[in-house]
Amino acid sequence: MSFRTIEWRDNKVIMIDQTKLPGEEVYNEYTDFTGVAEAIRGMIVRGAPAIGVAAAMGVALGARDIIADTFDSFYRQLENVCDVLGRTRPTAVNLFWALERMKKVAQQHKELDLNSIREILKAEAISIEQDDLKICKEIGKHGGALVKEGASILTHCNAGGLATAGYGTALGVIRAAHEAGKGIKVFADETRPWLQGARLTAWELMKDSIPVTLITDNMAGWLMRTGQIDFVVVGADRIAANGDTANKIGTYSVAVLAKENRIPFYVAAPISTLDLKLASGDDIPIEERASTEVTHIQGVRIAPEGVKVRNPAFDVTPARYITGIITEKGVIRGDYEKELRALVGL
């Protein structure tokens, strides 16, 4: 890939500014955890796996700046760093998974001196980023095998290299099929209101010379009905124990349309996106964002002043609409509750 989503370099966190794409390819530098928190909240970095990587690196930055004489004092301040990062985006479970992993690593090395713990936390954050890239490649391998020669694939939002440490989940499946020479083509929903499909997915695929056609969100049903879509793959921000899946708003509609038109609908996500503590999608918290994201596009008002707005950033697709969930350990289908638990060894 010709870009990097996020990396640790020279004791700074470097992130591509996704709010400026596709017009400008700008990389921001962050030297403290509050800057990383604002980047997550402000959508400079987005996508569940990438948010998890950013959060881990934010913890490492925060740990570096903590002034303490004892582990207990250090850890209390580290928990505060994690609390600040944890309040940025409520739906993507990878955020909380990464924070818990970083806190656990600190506790496991509490007998060491604080400078050693800081270095271990930095190494752990870098490891999370590197692991994510390997995981996405495995997801791509398993999912790419499901794609038929010459398939037309629909995807919604951006679950590509920009949403992960690299390669992508849903776009990892697409990349793997393309690399296998299957002659695929992609339709990308624009994904209102942030236009991740138009701004990010189309940009990514064009950079990699993967054939892509952009459509508005309300065109997907007609393309399915007229036989122009063979396969749907999307990412996920949180998957409940029964297989219900939260993803970018509009995903549920695509899943229902796919079911009606007998088109396979797959979710591609790492195991870290599973939240088996939640019985169903009814328990997944849904982030509501600012009304201006709906009433304006790039600062230009498109709706009447004072109009009431709803802006849920995610919706939940019930498991009954999902053909299969593609993970780094393989593809699961059918009894999701049983299969997901088996996947994580429960």
Tokens describing residue 237 = 């921000």
- SS3 state at 227: coil
93, 57, 63, 100: which is closest to 81 by C-alpha? 63
Q: Tokens in use for 273?
A: 């996106």
Query: How far are the Cα atoms of 44, 166, 253 from residue 1, in angstroms, in the given order?
Result: 19, 8, 31
Please give the distance of CA 162 from its chain centroid, rounded to a whole number.
8
Active site members: 237
**Helix residue spans in the chain (DSSP H):** 33-41, 48-65, 71-86, 93-108, 114-144, 170-179, 196, 202-207, 220-225, 251-260, 292-295, 336-343
Determine how many CB atoms are found less than 10 A away from the CB of residue 12.
Answer: 16
Return d(Cα 316, Cα 246) in angstroms, integer.
4
Helices within 226-313 (DSSP H only): 251-260, 292-295
